[in-house]
Chain A
Amino acid sequence: MVTKSEEDQLNRLEAQVDNAGGGAWEYLCLVRKLKVRRPDKVLKHGLAILNDSKKRSALGTEEWTLCEQVAVAAMDCQSLDVAKDCIKVLRKRFPDSKRVGKLEGMLLEAKGLWAEAEKAYSSFLEDNPFDQVIHKRRVALAKAQGNITTAIECLNKYLDTFMADHDAWRELAEIYISLQMYKQAAFCYEELILSQPTNPLHHLAYADVLYTIGGLENLQAAKKYYASTINLTGGKNRRALFGVCLCTSAIGQLSKGRNKEDKDSPELQLLAVAALEKDYKQRAPGKLPLLTSALKSLRVSS
């Protein structure tokens, strides 16, 4: 997850580099550290450094990490010849490296040669069945081919062994959501919450899934998780505020016929509405009437 300050720093460096202000190497290092995906910028500036022999020798051993980064960015931008050159250089320098092998597999994937890529990855896995990176590449391969069920299978098998890898759980949750298998997605998000309980994004996503599944119990749980997201982000997350309003009105609709055991006071909804209005007034006053009418319709039904 990229924090706001890091994002600001990244944008600042990006603007600086774009206007030929130098600092390209720091920008590339920051991109690599934050694992952000900016292939076009990385390709442009990385190639500029690599082609300039003076700057290249100034890097020393970091040159090869840069080469790898540029190769991946090139594959993202579909400039496959650039990628091939970089990989050739790396292969000459590190003839027996698994990391270069992974890059070659990625190049086969980028070219669309799925069978060869699959063969390459399987051979790597035979050598070392515990290479996490290669496992993940296989899942990506299946996903790129559109074979989502195979992707789910591979990912489940991977998680059977490496069950503490929260990135994998996140990927699985997103795949399940895309297939509308919400209960399984809820399970994955629970795993994420367990491993990182203070990350508000997981609470938010879990609340979304619970709200989508529906049913009174799930709606009440969803409301609680939206509340916890508000708690963890200090009330700044607008999606959570909207979520609270929607949940309360949905709960109200469902329990209209029964006795209202109002443990949850309606204050939360009112407060969320007030916070939203204040926020919109500050940032997008033009949209305020839209907001008020939408919220009014919600309040009427509750």
Chain B
Amino acid sequence: MDKFRDCGDIKKDLRYLYTVQFWVFLVSRNANRGERKSRERERGAMAEDLVLDTAIRDWVLIPLSVVMVLIGVLRYFVSKLMRSAQIPDAKLVKEGQVIVRARNLRAAANFIPPKSFRARRLYYSNEENGLLYVPKGQAPNAQAQMFSDPNMAMDMMKKNLSMIIPQTLTFAWVNFFFSGFVAAKIPFPLTQRFRAMLQNGIDLSTVDVSYVSSRSWYFLNLFGLRGLFSIILGEENATDDTQRMMQMTGFGFDPTKSLGAEKDGLDIVQHDWTMPKFERRAEAVLRKLVR
């Protein structure tokens, strides 16, 4: 009950107390009325089946989802407006294309004659001027370059900001308005450890952990609306927070490491020319056709 200590206003305290008591009363009254409750009592189980007011669904769950969708759409358009024309770096473009080409070589190596495959492999992994060969000294530079380049830093900042600010605001809004009551029930049982995470505003320790507060509904929406956004807004949308968060951890290593990975992959490939097999298969096809 931290709030009690913070606010000095007695009236506010009393109002808060009465709200909590009212909700508990409402909940327990409905629970008492429910038939299942009697069955539960017979069985002597600790878990009570709370019947939640439908007003919660109408006024909490649905508005929260709608607001998050709208904020996502808004962010998409804002990011579109703010996006400066990206002038791609020469080296990065070339490296990206080299990687694609090397990957194609690895995938379809069995379709070209062995001599050409060997020639290409040499071309790629040659020590001096092979395409995929990265001298050791250059490798760690990429990350330093990433942070010293002012343009790129600005870009990263802008992208991060557009993600962080709406998230923070929405989270604060949810916490302020929609805390202190049970919002939903998760359909599967959970252990007691989740109580701190999911039942943040609810200060009763006897309520089953499956009953969660609106904060967990907010998080569910945050990760779950990604699919919805990709339908509404098309593939490339700025609301792909989860992807962005995953990208942030792996930033800066991409080009040089993947080149090395491709080179290793290419070295491993054993060439097995499939063409002779195709001849026999073609015979079979023709035989079936002619018959």
Contacts and interface: CB of A to CB of B under 8 A. Distances in A.
A275 B287 CA distance: 8
Interface string B255-291: 0000000000000000000111011011101111110
Contacts of A244: 282
6 contacts: A162-B93, A194-B112, A224-B275, A227-B279, A234-B285, A265-B283
Interface in A203-232: 221, 223-225, 227-228, 230-231
B111 A193 contact: yes
A195, A227, A235, most chain B CB atoms within 10 A = A227
B90 to A, nearest CB: 7
A228 B275 CA distance: 7
B88 A193 contact: no
A163 B98 contact: yes
B275 A163 contact: no
A225 B97 contact: no
Nearest to B131: A163
A164 B100 contact: yes
B112 A190 contact: yes
Q: Is the interface of A mostly helix, strand, loop or mixed?
A: helix
B286 A164 contact: no
A94 interface: no
Question: What range describes how many residues of A lie at the interface?
Answer: 35 or more
Contact of A227 (B97, B101, B109, B275): B275
Given A128-B87, A221-B113, A161 B283 contact: no
A195 B112 CA distance: 11
A130 B97 CA distance: 13
Question: What range describes how many residues of B lie at the interface?
Answer: 20 to 34
Interface stretch (A10-18, A70-78, A144-152, A266-274): A266-274
Contacts of A272: 286
B93 A268 contact: no
A269 to B, nearest CB: 10
Contacts of A129: 90
A155 to B, nearest CB: 15
A162 B287 contact: no
B286 A230 contact: yes
B104 interface: yes
A285 interface: no
Nearest to A195: B104
A165 B286 CA distance: 34
Given A193-B108, A195-B101, 5 more contacts: A162-B93, A164-B100, A194-B108, A271-B287, A272-B286
B279 A223 contact: yes
B100 A161 contact: no
Interface in A258-298: 264-265, 267-268, 271-272, 274-275, 278
A135 B274 CA distance: 36
A95 interface: no
B289 to A, nearest CB: 4
Given A234-B285, A275-B290, A228 B87 contact: no
Contacts of B84: none
B281 A231 contact: yes
A278 B53 CA distance: 77
Contacts of A191: 101
B73 interface: no
B87, B105, B109, B290, most chain A CB atoms within 10 A = B290
A23 to B, nearest CB: 27
B14 to A, nearest CB: 60
B282 A230 contact: yes
B116 A231 contact: no
A161, A194, A272, A274, most chain B CB atoms within 10 A = A194
Contacts of A235: 282, 285-286, 288-289
A257 to B, nearest CB: 24
Interface string B156-192: 0000000000000000000000000000000000000
A130 B96 CA distance: 13
Contacts of A163: 97-98, 100-101
Given A161-B93, A194-B105, A264 B279 contact: yes
Contact of A275 (B104, B281, B289): B289
Nearest to A203: B111
Nearest to B289: A235
Nearest to A129: B90
Nearest to B287: A271
A224 B276 contact: yes
B88 A130 contact: yes
Contacts of A278: 289-290
